[in-house]
Every structure is written in structure tokens, then in C-alpha cells.
């Protein structure tokens, strides 16, 4: 029953939109305007879905062969949807390469960023934004309006029900962006650069130790797992 609902959404998605968020549901059909920041040209309807306070799943139906995908959140009820201030700058899932389309893709547990935890509790409203940058160069936007709930996670106690909402269809998945796959060693790159500079006799303005320490920090951030 739920599966057939999902199948119907897949058909609807391929016929009428670039990507559709199925859990928690998006604002509606945004086919003609999905390239518009921040929510594909659709305003909030006032309808919201519950989403777990400790983080939860996002399921959507992509259409393209692949898309660089980022999941962001903005906390608040009536979020000002203008581009002068980007309230969607809280990243929940950093950009990854979502592969395959015309089926369901689901990340089962997206966590609340630690910096936002003090703001998140049952009853708080927020909007989750998915951005897909596709091969043609278009960025596509779609949003789901939510209310945080302490009991939403338990609603799917029965794994069979949950599995009809959160699953990956055949040939649909994701991988890290090519850069992180190659595991660039930034420390090594910096050392090479340093050696080149020293060989060229130029002055190195900050101490190598400071440079290495800050590189180690940024490397830790870059390599700390995403998916």
C-alpha cells in the first residue's frame, strides 16, 4: 500500500518535477520554478510534518543521472526567504555526489548540527532544504517544512513500515565527491609548496609549525566523515 504510494510519487516525479522530497514531504510541485533559491519558488503552505528532534531520515526521488547534493536547515517559523541573508547556511549533510534517478534515495539518520542543538526541541519549526546541482549547471531547490517532535522517531517502530519510506532503489546511491575519494593529503601538498618556496629562496611568513597545525585542523574537518 505504502510502496504503491511511493511508486506513484516516482511516476509523478519523473513526469512533473526535477526532484520530489517524499519524507518529510516537500511543499508541492515546483517543476517550473525549482531552480529558484531557496525553496524552488514555492512559499510555505503552513502545513508541516513532524521530524525527529534527534535527527531523522530524508527520502527523495531524484531524476538526474547524478547531482551534487547538499542538505541544509533553517530554524524558525516564518523564515525570511530572500537572498540577502542566507538562512539556509546551516549544513546538515555536506555536498555529496548523489547517483542515479527515477527511484527513491534515502539517508536514514541525518543529525542535527551541534551548533543548532540548543535551538532544537519539540515544537520548534524549521525548514529543511535540499539543493541538487545537476550536470547542466542548474541548481535545483526543494524544501520540507517541519516541526520537531520527540515521538516522530517512534512512529516508524515497525521496520516494515519504515522500509517502505526509507530505502534506496536499485542503481540509486551516492559517493563522496571525487576530491575526497582521492583523499588529497593537504599536509603533504603544503609541505611540497613550502619546499618549492624555500628552494626558490622566498620568505615564508608564518612558521611552518603554525601552518601545519592549522592545516591539520582543516584536514580533520575536511576528512571527518559525511554520509
Residues that bind Cu ion (CB under 5 A): 18
Contact of residue 38 among Cu ion, ligand NAG, none (CB under 5-8 Å per partner type): none
Which positions lie near ligand NAG, rule CB under 6 A?
14, 45-48, 63, 65-66, 77, 97, 99-102, 106-108, 125, 147, 166-168, 173-174, 177-178, 185, 187-188, 191, 227
State in angstroms the smallest separation of the CB of 82 from ligand NAG. 19
State in angstroms the smallest separation of the CB of 67 from Cu ion. 9
Contact of residue 76 among Cu ion, ligand NAG, none (CB under 5-8 Å per partner type): none
Contact of residue 46 among ligand NAG, Cu ion, none (CB under 5-8 Å per partner type): ligand NAG
Buried b (16+ CB within 10 A) or exposed e, 175-205: ebeeebeeeeeeeeebeeeeeeeeeeeeeee
Q: What angle do CA 167, 172, 177 make, to 5 degrees?
A: 115
Distance CA 81, CA 27 (A): 14
Torsion of CA 174, 60, 75, 54, to 10 degrees: -70
State in angstroms the smallest separation of the CB of 90 from ligand NAG. 18
Distance CA 158, CA 166 (A): 12
Contact of residue 45 among Cu ion, ligand NAG, none (CB under 5-8 Å per partner type): ligand NAG
H/E run at residue 138: none
Which residue, chain included where needed, has cell 508541516? 48
In this complex, which beta carbon is closest to ligand NAG, that of residue 83 or of residue 133?
133
Amino acid at each position: 500500500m505504502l510502496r504503491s504510494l511511493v511508486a506513484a510519487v516516482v511516476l509523478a516525479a519523473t513526469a512533473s518535477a526535477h526532484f520530489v522530497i517524499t519524507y518529510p514531504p516537500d511543499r508541492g510541485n515546483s517543476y517550473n520554478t525549482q531552480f529558484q533559491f531557496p525553496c524552488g519558488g514555492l512559499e510555505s503552505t503552513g502545513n508541516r510534518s513532524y521530524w525527529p528532534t534527534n535527527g531523522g531520515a530524508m527520502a527523495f526521488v531524484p531524476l538526474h543521472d547524478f547531482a551534487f547534493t547538499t542538505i541544509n536547515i533553517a530554524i524558525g517559523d516564518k523564515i525570511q526567504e530572500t537572498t540577502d541573508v542566507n538562512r539556509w547556511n546551516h549544513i546538515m549533510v555536506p555536498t555529496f555526489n548523489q547517483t542515479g534517478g527515477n527511484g527513491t534515495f534515502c539517508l536514514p539518520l541525518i543529525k542535527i548540527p551541534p551548533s543548532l542543538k540548543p535551538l532544537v526541541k519539540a515544537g520548534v519549526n524549521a525548514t529543511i532544504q535540499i539543493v541538487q546541482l545537476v550536470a547542466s549547471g542548474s541548481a535545483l531547490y526543494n524544501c520540507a517544512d517541519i516541526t520537531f517532535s520527540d515521538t516522530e522517531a517512534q512512529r516508524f517502530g515497525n521496520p516494515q513500515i519504515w522500509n517502505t519510506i526509507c530505502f534506496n532503489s536499485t542503481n540509486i546511491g551516492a559517493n563522496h565527491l571525487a576530491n575526497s575519494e582521492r583523499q588529497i593529503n593537504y599536509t603533504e601538498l603544503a609541505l611540497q609548496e613550502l619546499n618549492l618556496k624555500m628552494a626558490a629562496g622566498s620568505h615564508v611568513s608564518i612558521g611552518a609549525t603554525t601552518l601545519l597545525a592549522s592545516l591539520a585542523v582543516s584536514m580533520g574537518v575536511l576528512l571527518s566523515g559525511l554520509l
